Amino acid sequence: MNGSDTGRRWALALPAVAVIMLFSILPLGVVLVYSFLTPGDFGNVKWIFSTEGWFSVLFERSIFDDTISISGANITILLRSVILAIATTLITLIFGLPTAWFIATRAPAQRNLWLFLITIPFWTNLLVRTIAVQEMIRSEGVFNRILLALGIIDAPIQMMFTDFAVLLGMTYVYLPLMVLPVYAAIEKFDFRLAEASYDLYASRFFCLRRVILPLIRPGIIAGSILVFVPALGAYITPRIMGGGKSMMLGNLIDLQFGQGRNWPLGAALSITLTVLVLLALIWYTRLTSGRKERDHV
Amino acid sequence: MLDIRGLSKRFGYGKGEVTALHEVSFQIAEREFFTLLGPSGCGKTTLLRLIAGFTGPSGGSIVLDGKDIAAMPPNRRPVNTVFQSYALFPHMTVGQNVAFALEAQGRPKSEIDPAIDEMLTLVQLLHLKHRKSSELSGGQQQRVALARALVARPRILLLDEPLSALDMKLRKDMQIELKRLQRETGLTFIFVTHDQEEALTMSDRIAVMSGGRVQQIATPRELYDRPANRFVAGFIGESNFLSAMASGGVVEVGDGKVHLADAPDGALTLMIRPEHVVLSAKAPDALQLEATVNQLVFFGTDTHVHLLLNDGTKIVARVQNALHAGQSFHEGERIFLSLPSNALRVVNEAEAEA
């Protein structure tokens, strides 16, 4: 009886399992298998086992004498991706927290308007948004023209195709993803607790550190994950704002599948990216579940 | 010690302006249990929030120990509050909640730790020190809120209807507990409530408020015995009101007459408590009236006899249910009642407007 019951449960779960297998596990499996094959001459792969793809993630072999050295370019891009994603998360937090605070402390009728304004860019095509940012900072762009007209600079500042440009673009694009969860957390915050803390001799800073931040922490963590994960794998923004000079992991992967004609390396890089995202998610679960454990002690 | 001088508070602007407090003045003495009593919207909570510093006054001053604190922010006033909602910090343990005020003041840990234990012992919650505050019952949360507000030894403890969320039995226990805490800590308490019984049992003095004004400030006994006006008489305890005419110290009600030396000439209102109404014609020096027994309501310890006078005025008499009841009444019976002159009070119809 128990056996048939288990069987029925499996049968009921089958559609869900099938969807997950077909659209998540199987493609990932394909990528994993490809990462251990040999690149084909015109893209695609040859079905010959090779660890060269994984090897090339971090190392390179000289074409002339087969000496092995660390792949400076790949490591730079890998590090840049992680650093830019962390920086984007921090900057969106620095701007997003006060913004969310501002919205959450408006009259309830006004809040929806502010939220709408925050999310307008979000409904706009990503490409259009990114090109709009480009228009602001390119050499003949708005910022440079203003600075030139004011006589602050003599020649336009080169801002496009730098890490700064990528960071600016990503901050702009991902800001709503930080504001929304933080806003939701602040909106739930009971402001009588802040009043109680002032009554108990707390300064504004003490209240922020000891009462407000701990209570809106889940929102901050959720917002950080929502920004960090897509920022790490960002493709369009670094492509437009960074060009070939400030590439990120997403662009590197694209390069291997396109011009590079090295699908195994592209696949290995994709798996690397997935593992990095997984690590971030594990860290996130640790943070939130650690909190729950402490709640119940 | 605390001197409230002409304190007023207005909310809103122009046509929407509402005056919550009209130039209130009074003084509170050291170690006093002072209660602000009144119906909702009477301004008692506004007054409390002004003393705590959560809002600024529109006029007047709050002088504590000779210093005007009206412009001082709440975190610099030596005044702590027990909130109606308790407002305990849900992410902290009981001990951390109690430690909050001392940590905010930057006191050393060597001073904080014993102070927490001492406070938790005082409210009998030491065994729950490491429990999350969100896991406590209402009564326990109440005690934590008290310990948290008392730990920094404020000059004044403000209590904003702290017992209103508790059930009847727990509330009675907490009333006794609060009184004990006040005696043991020797602090000044300002207690806000709309419950007249709570106010009468706990307070040294009560300020009865209505319409943003203080109607009367007196001891519970004085308030009950000599209410300043009809509002106070009606709000504190139960009362019977009679319309009367007076001339030369003689007061007439219907066909009854009584000598009241302090009665001013002309039309006036008399007040008498239900327990002072005597249901016989024999009492000396009393206003005698004929009435019909309208309804008898049994209350266990006593019976409320609802009477109807000839002119339609309703009178309630409270008769103790003695073991050997001397008299029994029936609904519809015609009887005589006496209102002793020493229990009759002339009350002001008008509320305080100044």
Pairwise CB contact (< 8 Å): A201 & B76: yes
Q: Which residues contact B40 (CB under 8 A, 6 or more apart)?
A: B194
B213: number of Cβ within 10 Å? 19
Q: Which residues in chain A have their CB less than 8 angstroms from residue B91's CB?
A: 214-215, 295
Q: Is the ipTM of this complex over 0.90?
A: no
> Has residue A30 been placed in a domain?
no
Say what the pLDDT of residue A41 is: 83
Segment B240-254 shows an average pLDDT of: 87
Residue B180 distance to chain A (closest CA, Å): 23
Provide the percentage of residues in chain B whose pLDDT is more than 70.
Answer: 98
Task: Kindly give the pairing relationship between strand B266-272 and strand B67-68.
Answer: unpaired
pLDDT tens digits, A112-122: 999 999 888 88
User: Mutating which of B88, B97, B100, B132 best tests the A interface, going by the most A Cβ atoms within 10 A?
Assistant: B100
Residue B283 has pLDDT above 90, yes or no: no
Q: What is the mean pLDDT of residues A124-153?
A: 88
- Residues of A at the B interface (Cβ-Cβ below 8 Å)? 190, 192-193, 195-203, 206, 210-211, 214-215, 295-297
Contact residues on chain A for B152, CB-CB shorter than 8 A: 200-201
Which residues from A are below 8 Å from B148, CB to CB?
200
Per-residue pLDDT band for A94 (boundaries 50, 70, 90) equals very high
Q: Does B136 touch chain A (CB under 8 A)?
A: no
C-alpha span between A169 and A133 (Å, rounded): 6
Mean of pLDDT values over A120-133: 87
Q: Cβ contacts (< 8 Å) between A193 and chain B: which residues?
A: 87, 89-90
Token pair in block for residue A113: 């308007």
Smallest Cα–Cα separation from B292: which of B319, B318, B311? B311
Q: Token pair for residue A101?
A: 């605070």
Whether B78 contacts chain A with CB within 8 A: no
- Name residue B338's amino acid: S
Cross-chain Cβ contact A200/B89 below 8 Å: no
Residue B213's contacts (CB-CB under 8 Å, 6 or more residues apart) are B22, B24, B43, B351, B352, B353, B354
Instruction: Give the other-Cβ count within 10 Å of A68's Cβ.
Output: 10
Taking the C-alpha atoms of residue B233 and residue A40, their distance in angstroms, rounded to an integer, is 100
Q: What is the mean pLDDT of residues A212-220?
A: 93
Classify residue B278 by burial, with Cβ atoms within 10 Å: 0-12, 13-18, 19+. middle
Question: Could you tell me the CA-to-CA distances from A171 to A79, A97, A133, A274, B188 in Å, in that order?
Answer: 18, 13, 11, 22, 54
Residue type, B293: V
The pLDDT of residue A297 is above 50: no
d(CA B301, CA B57): 47
Other beta carbons less than 10 A from residue B303's beta carbon: 17
In-domain check, residue A70: no
User: B101: which chain A residues are within 8 Å (Cβ-Cβ)?
Assistant: 200-201
Q: To 10 degrees, the CA torsion angle through A250, A254, A255, A260?
A: 140
pLDDT band at A204 (very low <50, low <70, confident <90, very high): very high
Looking at the partner chain, which of B53, B90, B104 has a beta carbon nearest the beta carbon of A200? Answer: B104
Q: Is the distance from CB of B338 to CB of B288 less than 8 angstroms? A: yes
B72's tokens: 């001082």
Question: Given this model, what pLDDT does residue A296 score?
Answer: 43
Interface mutation target, options B76, B88, B91, B130, chain A, most CBs of A under 10 Å: B91
Angle of helix A26-34 versus helix A263-295 axis, rounded to 10: 130
Q: Which domain holds residue A180?
A: 82-295
Cβ <8 Å between A201 and B152: yes
Q: Quick one: closest CA in B to A207, which residue?
A: B104
Contact B298, B262 (CB under 8 A): no
> Does residue B282 register a pLDDT over 80?
no
Q: Is 2.60.40.10 the CATH number for B2-230?
A: no
The enclosing H or E element of A131 equals: helix A126-137
Residue A266's CATH number: 1.10.3720.10
Q: A136 in a domain, yes or no?
A: yes
pLDDT computed for residue B165 by the predictor: 80
* pLDDT at residue A62 in the model: 76
B165 at interface of A, judged by CB pairs closer than 8 A: no
How many CB atoms are located within 10 Å of the residue A165 CB? 24
DSSP B332: T
- 3-class SS of residue B26: strand
pLDDT of B353 higher than 70: no
B89, A193: Cβ pair inside 8 Å? yes
- CB of B31 within 8 Å of a chain A CB? The answer is no
**Mean pLDDT of all residues in B217-234:** 92
Residue pLDDT, tens place only, A17-59: 899 999 989 999 999 999 999 888 887 888 888 888 888 888 8
Torsions phi, psi for A43 (to 5 deg): 80, -170
Query: Class of B238-347 per CATH?
Result: mainly beta
Q: Mind listing the pLDDT tens digit for each residue in A51-91? A: 888 888 888 887 777 788 888 888 999 999 999 999 999 99
Which residues are paired to A231 by β-bridges? none
Banded pLDDT at A293 (limits 50, 70, 90)? very low
Question: Does residue B46 have a pLDDT over 70?
Answer: yes
Tokens of A60: 């390179």
Which amino acid, A259? Q
Q: Which of B80, B83, B104 sits opposite A192 (nearest CB)?
A: B83
Nearest to B52 among A199, A206, A210 (CB): A199
Q: Could you report the per-residue pLDDT of A230-269, keeping only the tens digit for each?
A: 999 999 999 999 887 888 999 999 999 988 888 999 999 9
Q: What is the pLDDT of residue A290?
A: 57
Answer yes or no: same fold for B2-230 and B238-347. no
Rounded to whole angstroms, the Cα distance separating A160 from A137 reads 7
- Cα–Cα distance for residue pair B65/B306, rounded to 1 Å: 51
Please give the single-letter amino acid code of residue A189.
Answer: F
What total of structural domains would you count in chain A?
A: 1
pLDDT digits (tens, 9 = 90+) for B155-200: 999 999 988 888 888 888 889 889 998 998 899 999 999 999 899 9
Residue A101 lies in a domain: yes
Four-residue CA torsion sign, B123, B127, B133, B135? negative
Report residue B236 as tokens: 């504190």
pLDDT higher than 60, residue A295: no
A67 within domain boundaries: no
pLDDT for B29: 93
- Region B28-54: mean pLDDT is 93
Give phi and psi for A91, each to the nearest 5: -70, -40
Q: Tens digits of per-residue pLDDT, A161-181?
A: 888 999 999 999 999 999 999
Spell out the domain ranges in chain B.
2-230, 238-347
CB contact under 8 A, B87 and A198: no
Report pLDDT for B126.
92
Under the banding of pLDDT at 50, 70 and 90, the label for residue B251 is confident
Question: How confident is the model at residue A167, as a pLDDT?
Answer: 93
Given CB atoms, is B280 within the 8 Å cutoff of chain A?
no
Do residues B135 and B125 make contact, with C-beta atoms less than 8 angstroms apart?
no
pLDDT exceeds 60 at position A104 = yes
Residue A8 backbone dihedrals phi, psi, to 5 degrees: -65, -40
Percent of chain A at pLDDT exceeding 90: 52
Q: Is B105 on the interface with A (CB under 8 A)?
A: yes
CA angle B207, B212, B218 (to 5 degrees): 15
Q: What is the mean pLDDT of chain A?
A: 88
Q: Do B83 and A297 touch (CB under 8 A)?
A: no
For B284-311, the pLDDT digits (tens) are 888 888 899 988 888 888 888 999 988 8
